[in-house]
Structure 1
Amino acid sequence: MAEHNLDLGLVVEGLSAWYGEAKALDGVCLRVGAGEVVTLVGRNGAGKTTLLRALMGLHRQQQGVVRFDGVDLTRLPVHRRARAGLGWVPDDRGIYATLTVEENLLLAPITGARGWSMERIYDTFGVLAQRRAALGTTLSGGEQQMLAIARVLRTGARVLLLDEPTEGLAPVIVQRIGEIIRLVADDGVAVLLVEQNVRFASTVAHRHYLLAQGRVVEHLANTEFKERREELFAYLGM
């Protein structure tokens, strides 16, 4: 497995979260180093999306520590976490339906010096260049996913939080998303990926955390993850 600088990147310690009195996360600890792709794998209801929301500061009932590049983000509001380098692509993609592709891209504020230029975005996401004048309502699921990822890269985020980016997409689009994730990691961005598609996860990630009932129950290098893929298929009901 490749070595990554775990002093840089995202560090989560003892993160717990509640919905009322129901505990959704229970003392989660994880790391994602700069230039590393890490997946969160688990059944529906395991707490994966809640974890991403908590990292962004969108979940109010939480405790624990979130740091990025040594800076404590735990008490920061959402906009300051974004300015610190965290970028979130939600499972609903969050595309503005009445804006064009280009307007969606230009609307996002630039929060970091490493933000992708429009030229680089259009070079990398050729379909967005072709559809730059199209309204969000007219985009396919795959085009929306590309736009959602590109919008975060334009901000200069150094942590990319991806929630089920391949769900419901055609295999050719899934393959392209994998290529983009690897490209982003090669740029030194830390990628935390929530993914139900175990086969896809094994093609892009360096390490994997298995979540069950809000807890990390296993932490696997990608080699072991591949060796146990059939077992994980059965566990996830796939």
Structure 2
Amino acid sequence: MLSVEDITARYGEAQVLRGVSLDVAAGEVVTLVGRNGAGKTTLLRCLMGLHRSMAGRIELDGRDITKLAPHKRCRLGLGYVPDDRGIYSTLTVEENLTLPPTTGPDAWSLEKVYETFPVLAERRRQAGTHLSGGEQQMLSVARVLRMGARLLLADEPTEGLAPLLVQQIGEIIRTVKAHGVTVLLIEQNIHFASTVADRHYLISQGRVVESLDNTEVEQRENELLAYLGI
């Protein structure tokens, strides 16, 4: 579904990504694992067209989207959940879900969102500021599905959340996968990543240095935790 070839990216004179290549198949959940500053967020921004100081090639369903504007990528089914969740805090849950336009044939109806995430139906009249961290993350994911995302790019959805809420994020990811949505997410918590993802790319200093399956992660968990500084 997604093919990334030899992506390089800069911030001024500083090179952040150094020839990143990876693939994500339809229906997969794949994580990008690495220390802070490794270039993971920059890679997601490149995929979404939000970081233009880059070179390389990005294909979605075999179509070259490297030079497409972000809104055109959105119409093709890319959805981005940033690390700050990006919800409108003063608007209600339902306003957050209905304000953005639907951008493709795969857009979820409001009824499907509420059926899949009943807590959002219960909170639909509440403002974003009144939601828990886990509920805010759920809303941010539901919003991009409502817009029509087939491939969800998520930046550290569990960051700063208590263990119980981390479990809820895991359920959200498994739920969207069960509905046929593909997910590429940044995740520092390697144990959590192994419970939700099919494969993992280890990124170091702007490069993909390893591709790991869950068996390898389990066998090398202590080594990877030490590497990540956790």
Which category of TM-score, normalised to the shorter sequence, fits these structures? Answer: over 0.9
Q: Give distance in 2, aligned partners of 1:204 and 1:63.
A: 31
- Deviation (angstroms), 1:229: 1.0
Partner of 2:201: 209
One-letter amino acid matched to 2:154: L
- SS of 2:15's partner is strand
- Residues 36, 185 of structure 1: 8 Å contact kept: yes
- SS of 1:34's partner is coil
Partner of 2:151: 159
Q: Give distance in 1, aligned partners of 2:181 and 2:119.
A: 23
**Cα RMSD, aligned residues only:** 1.1
Instruction: After TM superposition, list the pairs within 5 Å mapping 1:57-206 onto structure 2.
Output: 57-206=49-198
Q: Give distance in 2, aligned partners of 1:101 and 1:182.
A: 22
Instruction: After TM superposition, list the pairs within 5 Å mapping 1:3-22 onto structure 2.
Output: 9-22=1-14
- Deviation (angstroms), 1:45: 0.3
One-letter amino acid matched to 2:175: L
* Matching of residue 35 in structure 1 with residue 27 in structure 2: yes
Q: Give distance in 1, aligned partners of 2:16 and 2:91.
A: 35
- Deviation (angstroms), 1:23: 0.4
2:17 to 25, 29, 48: 25
- Residues 10, 190 of structure 1: 8 Å contact kept: no
Q: Give distance in 1, aligned partners of 2:117 and 2:135.
A: 9
Give unmatched runs, 5+ long, in structure 2: none
Which has the higher mean CA deviation after the structures are superposed, 105-114 or 177-186? 177-186
Give unmatched runs, 5+ long, in structure 1: 1-8
One-letter amino acid matched to 1:23: Q
Partner of 1:223: 215
- Residues 134, 168 of structure 2: 8 Å contact kept: no
Partner of 1:3: none
Q: Give distance in 1, aligned partners of 2:118 and 2:175.
A: 15
- SS of 2:25's partner is strand
- Deviation (angstroms), 1:180: 2.0
Q: Give distance in 2, aligned partners of 1:63 and 1:206.
A: 28
Which has the higher mean CA deviation after the structures are superposed, 140-149 or 192-201? 140-149
Q: Give distance in 2, aligned partners of 1:27 and 1:155.
A: 31
One-letter amino acid matched to 1:68: L
Partner of 1:56: 48
- Deviation (angstroms), 1:109: 1.5
Partner of 1:5: none
